[in-house]
Homo-oligomer: A and B are copies of this chain.
Amino acid sequence: MAETAWARFEPKMKEICDLDRVLALLGWDEETCLPGPGRAARGRQAATVEAIRHQRLLAPELEEAMAELEASPELTPPQRAMARLMRRRKRLASRIPEPLVKALAEARSPALGAWQEAKRSRQVGPFLPHLEKVLSLVRERGRALAEAGQDPYDALIDEFDPGTTQALLTPVFSRLVAALVPMLDRLASRPEPKAVFHQRFAVDRQIELGQTIAAELGFDLERGRQDRSAHPFCESIGLDDVRFTTRFDEDELTESLYGTIHEVGHGMYEQGFDRAFEGTELAKAPSMGLHESQSRLWENLIGRSRPFWARYLPLAQKLFPEALAGVSAEQAYQAVNVVRRGLIRVDADEVSYNLHIVLRFELERALIAGDLEVRDLPAVWNQKMKEMLGVVPAHDGEGCLQDIHWAGGAFGYFPSYTLGNLYASQLMAAYEREHPAVWSDVEAGRHAPLREWLRAKVHARGQSASAEQIVRDATGSGLDAAPFLAHLERKFA
């Protein structure tokens, strides 16, 4: 009986998961390979696949198989988790009318094209109508997703981080702002160390450095690839096909280096799911916040540590003997840990980073609520930057155009980055308690113990449990800002 229901359900779930992967490839290709004029057709192609996936999720045959499945007492725990996850997807999908799915998919491609062009030309004007269009569809989406009485923005956040709400985030964010603004005041006024990474660095050597470190951290380049794109990202097309992208700057080394480590953190998560989950709903992270915890852990907690530079400065010096001659590991460490009032989120230090997130959280909350008009966004962005970080962009390219998210319709994603920072520190603190040798391991390039711990505690579980549960099982407590703030205090005291 259970077997029959499972046999009816499984291929339907796998078909939907295959369509997820096809859409991931369409998206990856759009940012890495697609010729510009091809965007319109790509938008239609993605819309077609999204619409089919939507129909499949709502097909009566799937509903029947699921109803039978849910009534069965004989499911294994993974089977039960898959049923639960598919039920959630069906519930979310059933709330969004198909024309809206299609309209949003079709609006996204031209908006992404316009964003790229706007960012390049630093002219926000021609992008704003696209953003207006995307926003109005996302608002509609939020309203459609919301339960009775639920705020549409909460419904959008919930898609990325199930269970997370503005009510949950607001006190955490307040605590962060209260701690970080004075910390930023204090640290940003220190004299800056020597900018040892502002030199000429040939791109092919940057690639070599990044790939060598990626491989040593444990990203399997045979089961994935690295490409270039305007905005770095990681996309999994399958357990053995995990792709990340990097942006290179010939005049600066750390953008590509930390971009690579960040995306490799995501990539190792995607490569680390239990192989038995491949092609199913379980081979995914349970939340974007938990996903970001993996990128931020490797990028910041490992990559911006002293032992990391003790290990990798010699390699960097071998690749860039002129640019890095005479630089010490301590100088490198200091150079990648400058706390400053910066304009760009992805370049931000660990202290100011979350302030960039709080800014975006407040802006997108206002945009979704209708309290902020798109045409006012550039000015309000600049004003908030001044209030929160004490700096004002010289142009919109380093202001409200810096991130891809809104052009792609991803409102509600930004909080995930801060959740990631907090989870990362929680996981790292727990690991350090269990493995006091961690820093000598890092200095020796022995990353397998930490990686395998993360694989067992986080990656392999996929979304068989919630992010909150996974963090609790690994660390003993749920979301908690204390380990993150303790880390900063210790590091920047």
Contact = CB atoms under 8 A, between A and B. Distances in A.
Interface stretch (A38-46, A308-316, A394-402, A434-442): A38-46
A222 to B, nearest CB: 6
A17 to B, nearest CB: 9
A155 to B, nearest CB: 29
Given A18-B48, A45-B21, A34 B279 contact: no
Contacts of A222: 35-37
Interface string A25-69: 110010001111110111011001100100000000000000000
Interface stretch (A164-172, A179-187, A195-203, A232-240): A232-240
Nearest to A225: B35
A51 to B, nearest CB: 8
Contacts of A241: 34-35, 37-38, 41-42
Nearest to A51: B15
A441 B114 CA distance: 40
B42 A238 contact: yes
A19 interface: yes
A268 to B, nearest CB: 15
A22 interface: yes
B38 A18 contact: no
A225 B279 contact: no
Interface in A273-320: 278-279
In the A-B complex, the 6 residue pairs with the closest CB atoms: A38-B241, A41-B238, A37-B240, A18-B48, A38-B240, A18-B45
Interface of A: 14-15, 18-19, 21-22, 25-26, 29, 33-38, 40-42, 44-45, 48-49, 52, 222-225, 237-241, 243, 278-279
